[in-house]
Amino acid sequence: MRLLKAFALATTLLVAGPALAADEGHGTELPSGNFSFDGVFGTFDRASAQRGFQVYKEVCSNCHSMRLMSYRNLLDIGLSEAQVRDIAATVQIPDGPNDEGAMFERAGRVSDHFRRPFANDQAARSANGGALPPDLSVITKAREGGADYVHALLTGYSDPPAGVTIMEGLHYNRWFPGHQIAMAPPLSDGQVQYTDGTATSVDQMAHDVATFLTWAAEPELEVRRAMGVKILIFLAILAGLAYATKRKVWANAH
């Protein structure tokens, strides 16, 4: 019976955990982004993740770094080695020193980490009015609500409600704590031209970049879930065998 209770508890937490996490810390429940990776059996939509990388590369990377990501990681979302090599080669990476002791820049390689938009945090603050754009490597793990929060934030810009005054240099966003955010609305309809022809509405781009950022933060998610399902199946079989053995052993006890 203990095994059965443990199995039931594990199943409940596995199913309910993401939903509970999404509600914590928000006065109003975050709207669901209806992501392909939601749920116990969810998996990453590779096409959406590739489009999300394109949004990050063309829009977000101008301010936000992803220090933990290497270009070779993009192979895991379905890009070919040639595509990844071409993507890496479009950036200049600081390197050195050379034989003369001088630093220099070279074309990026597949093994390089994503190029940072600024040399250091001080330069980033100076270019953004004192605000430091957060690194996005694990942003969906660092924010309550994960991908739903990222999607809601990117689509949550609007004019402030009547009676609400926004400080100079800030912007109203329904889903940002305090509703005043230094980042201007980063997305606009048609801003990015997807190579697969998908329409580029703000909602679509926000959905795709949230998918990419979730994959970046949890690249092992699919493997971990598959392992979890196997463990639950094993525990269910073990519980059944234990119960059958108990009945067999104690069948003639009375």
Residues in contact with 12: Cβ distance below 8 Å, sequence separation at least 6, in sequence order? none
The first and second tokens of residue 223, run together, are 């493997």
Task: Flag whether 138 is in a domain.
Answer: yes
User: How many CB atoms within 10 Å of residue 162?
Assistant: 5
What is the pLDDT at residue 6? 37
Angle, alpha carbons 11-16-19 (nearest 5°): 155
Which domain CATH number covers 186? Answer: 1.10.760.10
Q: Which of 215, 110, 188, 151 is nearest to 22 (CA)?
A: 151
**Could you please report the per-residue DSSP string of 94-144?**
EE---TTS--EEEE--TTSBPPPSSSSHHHHHHHTTT--PPP-TTHHHHST
- Model-wide pTM > 0.85: no
Residue 133 covered by a domain:
yes
Residue 205 within a domain = yes
What are the per-10-residue average pLDDT scores of the chain (254 residues)?
38 39 54 92 96 98 96 96 97 90 92 95 92 96 96 96 92 95 95 94 98 97 90 95 89 72
Q: How many CB atoms lie within 10 A of CB 10?
A: 14
Q: Is residue 228 part of a domain?
A: no
Instruction: Enumerate residues 6+ apart whose C-beta is below 8 A from 113.
Output: 67, 68, 69, 70, 71
The pLDDT value given to residue 49: 98
Q: What is the DSSP letter of 30?
A: P
pLDDT of residue 248: 85
Could you tell me the end-to-end alpha-carbon distance of the chain, in angstroms, rounded to an integer?
20
- Neighbour-count burial for 240-254, b at 16+ CB within 10 Å, e otherwise: eeeeeeeeeeeeeee
30 contacts 149 by C-beta, under 8 angstroms: yes
Q: What is the pLDDT of residue 217?
A: 97
What pLDDT sits at residue 23? 38
What is residue 254's predicted lDDT score, i.e. its pLDDT?
61
Domains in the chain, number: 1
Answer whether residue 253 is part of any domain: no
Q: How far apart are CA 123 and CA 108, in angstroms?
A: 22
- Residue 14 falls inside a structural domain: no
* Structural domain of 171: 34-69+113-220
Whether residue 149 lies inside any domain: the answer is yes
pLDDT of residue 27: 54
226, 147 Cβ separation under 8 angstroms:
no
